């Protein structure tokens, strides 16, 4: 663990780097509240999974790993020896309510819980559908921001924060 990392769980480190303020003011408190809201059995499944494949969390300037038509707010990566969770930094910083951020964190942790209990599937559509219903059963609200409203705000944030370009999803996850 680097000095700049913050431990969210025993095997889950938040990489803070230049986005330390967003990490401390927004992400870490949202994560703590999210974790408390996850049922115990699923917390155990997540912790056991991360024990085998420790997790890193990155706040990203841009979610540029895949070529989806819409930029995702969060994403999870399942590697052989580690796990990575990425979140769109301008959303974490500016989402109107902390519940919106919690919904995204809860969603990615739900994928991880499903890996842990063995119900995760390569069928992306099915995985998303079942993850959404699991997250709802935990009481989270999933934000579906209107891209027409969000796109200009996110682009404006990126213009103001050009110096954080190196914190793109691809560059951080591959590091
Ligand atoms: Zn998902």
pLDDT score recorded for residue 71: 87
Listed residue (28, 25, 26, 30) closest to 13, CA to CA: 28
pLDDT score recorded for residue 47: 98
Give the distance (Å) from ligand 1 centre to CA of residue 143: 12
Q: How far apart are CA 72 and CA 104, in angstroms?
A: 10
Give the distance (Å) from ligand 1 centre to CA of residue 134: 11
Give the distance (Å) from ligand 1 centre to CA of residue 130: 9
- Cβ-based burial of 139 (10 A; exposed 0-12, middle 13-18, buried ≥19): exposed
List per-residue pLDDT tens for the chain, 175 residues long: 455 789 999 999 999 888 999 999 999 999 999 999 999 999 999 999 999 999 999 999 999 998 777 889 999 999 999 999 999 999 999 888 899 999 999 999 999 999 999 999 999 999 999 999 999 999 998 776 666 677 888 999 999 999 999 999 999 998 7
| Domain residue spans of the chain | 6-173
Give the distance (Å) from ligand 1 centre to CA of residue 124: 8
Q: Which two tokens stand for residue 46?
A: 């997540």
- Strands 55-60 and 74-78, sheet pairing: unpaired
């Amino acid at each position: 663990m680097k000095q700049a990392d913050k431990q969210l769980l025993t095997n889950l480190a938040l990489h803070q780097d230049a986005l330390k303020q967003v990490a401390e003011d927004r992400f870490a408190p949202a994560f703590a509240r999210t974790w408390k809201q996850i049922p115990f059995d699923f917390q155990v499944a997540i912790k056991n999974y991360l024990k085998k494949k420790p997790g890193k969390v990155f706040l990203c300037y841009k979610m540029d790993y895949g070529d989806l038509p819409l930029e995702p707010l969060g994403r999870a990566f399942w590697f052989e020896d580690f796990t990575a969770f990425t979140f769109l930094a301008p959303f974490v910083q500016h989402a109107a309510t902390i519940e919106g951020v919690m919904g995204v964190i809860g969603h990615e942790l739900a994928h991880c819980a499903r890996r842990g209990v063995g119900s995760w599937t390569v069928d992306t559509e099915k995985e998303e559908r079942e993850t959404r219903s699991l997250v709802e059963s935990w009481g989270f609200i999933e934000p579906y921001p209107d891209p027409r409203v969000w796109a200009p705000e996110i682009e404006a944030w990126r213009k103001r924060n050009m110096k954080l370009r190196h914190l793109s999803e691809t560059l951080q996850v591959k590091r």
